[in-house]
Amino acid sequence: MSKDSRRLPTDAKLLKEAESRLYGDPSSPAEVADASRLLYELQVHQIELKLQNEQLINITNTAEIAAASFTDLYNFAPVGYVTLNLKGDITRSNFAAAKLLDMARSRLQGARLAAFVAQKDLLKFNNLLSPSNIHDIQPGCEIELAGTLEKTVQMDISFDDNNLEYRLVLTDISERKKAEIKLQLAASVFSHSHEGIMITDASGTIIEVNDTFSQITGLTRIEVLGKNSDILKSDNQSPEFYEARQHTLLEKSYWYGEMWNKRKDGEVYLEMQAISAVRDITGKTQHYVSLFTDITKSKANQQQLEHAANYDSLTNLPNRVLLADRLPISLIQCQRHLKMLAVVYIDLDGFKQVNDTYGHDMGDKLLISISQHMKDALRECDTLARIGGDEFVAVLDDLETPNDCKPILKRLLKATSETIALGDVLLNVSASMGVAISPKNGSNADLLIREADKAMYVAKESGKNRYHFFDEHASTETKILYENLNAVRHALTQDQFLLHYQPKINMSTLKVVGMEALIRWKHPKKGLLEPSQFLPFIENNPIRIELGAWIINRVLAQISQWNEQGLDLPVSVNVAAYQLHDKHFYEQLTTALGAHQNVQPGQLELEILETSGLDRMTQVSALISDCKKLGVNFSLDDFGTGYSSLSHLKNLPADSLKIDQSFVQDMLTNPDDLAIVQGIISLAEVFGRSVIAEGVESEAHANKLLSMNCKIGQGFGIARPMPPDDLPAWVKSWHASPIWKA
């Protein structure tokens, strides 16, 4: 805008008058002076107008900047702004409103806002725009939008009297509504749950409980808030129980199990409880949430059902089901302790006549009375079961010899033959008993019962009221086996076993690289016995586990002694399949290693027969892996003699293979043995295992093995097994002058 265009009409008039007086023909000096004055006033006025014009420009610029800022704030506000005309049509909107309504801003112009409101909230929306309400301050209301967006907005509305338009603010509260619903649901679950719920802080102080908690415990919310959860403890759990529970919570953030708690009135009840630890983002425990149900009645019902399933309803004796559970356990215990067990099959003589004469009620009373008499005749460790009708089975544990059960059998005969008075009736029956002895007659529960049943019929046919042993005169083989088992047990307790050690060498460098521990029995009558003379008798007996543990401990003690003497060599020990499958093997090995602190686990190598793991491949493989984590090495002994397969070699994580001496000894003259040896060495190379050859009888054997890339060997050509005291001197002598033996 030019300065001339901003002049007012008064300015032009003054200018024209001043110019006419200055440049016209002045009449007098006074007129000239008057014209000069007018011109001066005009100049002053022009300066004032210029200043005013600059102020106006600044104000206009500020207003334009403010308008632009307002437009930006309006357009990019985080809430939706919508302006409606009196018909409800959208005349203006911002980007947030367009996003909420899911339509481009340009398309919103002229659209009816009501079209975006869900049908159920349309009446509420129309009431907002009611002419009767337009001058009132309307509180915000929640409106659900139409379509598939499932959005809820809060609408705040005002009316512009000047422009006759509605101005609405739309705030998206969808997430808040969802959160409110979740909170309401959680609150509803908390309040209406059939499980008691207790929330504590990290120290166990109770901060919230639900109604079911109060129903179960009898304690109100007011009574427990701020109290420690220990107020519920009963005396039925030991301190160790609570320590174990807390340890599990710290380790796993969760505990689940049964526990006894106490109600307000002191009554103890059984509950099934689940406790979860609630941690913050740093992993620190903030709260514990405990859910529990009272299972006192259901547990009692369960016990009643279990009792009904396992006990005879008439005599309350164990039934056939419980007998089938207990008998195998008793057999295992007796085998482990080298004791005998007797299974006694009892059939009452003359009971049918009692039933026929006096009726079943009288017969039932007789059975109850006789059952009690027989229980009184047994020892505390024995079991009496009713398996049906008038038939019973007694299990007599912890017997040294078959004769040990005879006094008990006589007491049973007396108990069943005593006259019993039931009211005015005197009843008298007897019993025929068959006896089967384990291990003499076998170690299978069903077999022993069948054998005792057969023996019972012999007793009944022989005149009743007596007992008969099944196969009373045991076979010679059974007697020998039992005698050998007792002899080995006695030898172990009398410290008659000892270990000899056979060196292993690197046949290339002739350096001693280890040795194998081999057991010997210093028999008081038969002299020094080789393993083949006694181990076969105990291979599948618990005593093999005891002997194996003794060997490992003795070897570790010997390694410790040699370490102190400066002789650092690994020692291998044979481990039997029976020992390897024992569930306590890993624990016992860990304990043994811990008892010898100066022995490195790598100084111990366990040799397992190739066939040991075939029936339990997964279990044995896992056990080897666990033991190797301790540092213990493993090798497959006598490789090639069992039912070998690539899968066994692949799945058993042994460090080395030991070629059986039967192949090595004859490989120089037998092409088949040579081929087997070569094949085993090749397999070892393929699977990344080292290989050891047993049966190296000469230097020629050693050279042949070296040519096939087998470097480690042991055998009589190097040295025979020797007592541990002789070994240090032999090692020194061998290193000084290796001499192969013929």
Contact 465, 417 (CB under 8 A): yes
Give the model's confidence band at 633: pLDDT under 50 very low, under 70 low, under 90 confident, else very high: very high
Across the range 711-732, mean pLDDT stands at: 94
In a 13 Å sphere around the CA of 428, the CA atoms on its Cβ side amount to 6
Strands (E) in 161-298, as ranges, are: 165-172, 196-201, 206-209, 254-262, 268-279, 285-294
Across the range 252-263, mean pLDDT stands at: 91
Q: Output the average pLDDT for the chain.
A: 85
Give, rounded to a whole angstrom, the gap between the first and last alpha carbons of the chain.
Answer: 128
Provide CB contacts within 8 A for 371, sequence distance 6+: 315, 317, 384, 386, 392
Beta bridge mates, 233: 261
pLDDT the model gives residue 645: 52
| 553 class by beta-carbon count within 10 Å (0-12 exposed, 13-18 middle, 19+ buried) | middle
Contact 155, 143 (CB under 8 A): yes
For the beta carbon of residue 196, count every other beta carbon within 10 angstroms. Answer: 22
pLDDT the model gives residue 406: 94
- Phi, psi of 576, deg, nearest 5: -75, 155
Across the range 621-633, mean pLDDT stands at: 89
For the beta sheet containing 80-84, the strands, ordered from the edge strand earlier in sequence to the opposite edge, are 90-93, 80-84, 165-172, 152-160, 141-144
pLDDT tens per residue, range 655-694: 888 888 889 999 999 999 999 999 889 888 888 889 999 9
The helix (H) or strand (E) run that includes residue 384 is strand 383-388
Across the range 352-364, mean pLDDT stands at: 88
Least confident of 36-45, 355-364, 450-459, 603-612: 36-45
Q: Does residue 643 or residue 176 have the better pLDDT? A: 176
Percent of the chain with pLDDT over 70: 88
Least confident of 48-57, 212-221, 430-439, 582-591: 48-57
- Between CA 652 and CA 625 the distance in angstroms is 9
Provide CB contacts within 8 A for 606, sequence distance 6+: 572, 573, 575, 627, 632, 633, 634, 635
Residue 479: pLDDT above 60?
A: no
pLDDT the model gives residue 49: 77
For the beta carbon of residue 89, count every other beta carbon within 10 angstroms. Answer: 16
Per mean pLDDT, which of 15-24, 77-86, 466-475 is the most reliable?
77-86
Give the model's confidence band at 478: pLDDT under 50 very low, under 70 low, under 90 confident, else very high: very low
pLDDT the model gives residue 16: 66
Least confident of 465-479, 520-534, 537-551: 465-479
Residue 2: pLDDT above 50?
A: no
Residue 626: pLDDT above 80?
A: yes
pLDDT the model gives residue 28: 67
Burial 389-419 (b: 16+ CB within 10 A, else e): ebbbbbbbbebeebeebeebbebbbebbbee
Residue 7: pLDDT above 50?
A: no
Burial 349-381 (b: 16+ CB within 10 A, else e): bebeebbeebeeebbebbbebbbebbbebbeee
Across the range 387-400, mean pLDDT stands at: 92
pLDDT tens per residue, range 408-453: 999 999 999 999 998 888 898 999 999 999 988 888 999 899 889 8
Least confident of 36-40, 445-449, 474-478: 474-478
Contact 663, 640 (CB under 8 A): yes
pLDDT the model gives residue 309: 81
Across the range 113-140, mean pLDDT stands at: 78
pLDDT the model gives residue 467: 92
Per mean pLDDT, which of 4-8, 27-31, 435-439 is the most reliable?
435-439
Q: Does residue 69 or residue 105 have the better pLDDT? A: 105
Angle between helices 406-417 and 360-377 (to 10 degrees): 150
pLDDT the model gives residue 4: 47
Q: Does residue 107 or residue 181 have the better pLDDT? A: 107
Across the range 595-610, mean pLDDT stands at: 89
Q: Does residue 502 or residue 619 have the better pLDDT? A: 502
Contact 143, 153 (CB under 8 A): yes
Across the range 94-102, mean pLDDT stands at: 89
pLDDT the model gives residue 460: 80
pLDDT the model gives residue 600: 94
Provide the token pair at 37.
């004055």
Q: Does residue 558 or residue 306 have the better pLDDT? A: 558
Least confident of 74-88, 321-335, 639-653: 639-653
Least confident of 7-11, 17-21, 199-203: 7-11
Q: Does residue 571 or residue 23 have the better pLDDT? A: 571
Contact 21, 34 (CB under 8 A): yes
pLDDT tens per residue, range 370-391: 999 999 999 999 999 999 889 9
pLDDT the model gives residue 594: 92
pLDDT the model gives residue 650: 72
Give the model's confidence band at 464: pLDDT under 50 very low, under 70 low, under 90 confident, else very high: confident
Least confident of 189-198, 271-280, 613-622, 637-646: 637-646
Per mean pLDDT, which of 51-65, 164-178, 324-338, 508-522 is the most reliable?
508-522
Residue 702: pLDDT above 70?
A: yes
Q: Does residue 329 or residue 129 have the better pLDDT? A: 329
Beta bridge mates, 405: none
Beta bridge mates, 437: 342
pLDDT the model gives residue 6: 44
Across the range 111-126, mean pLDDT stands at: 89
Percent of the chain with pLDDT over 90: 40
Contact 697, 682 (CB under 8 A): no
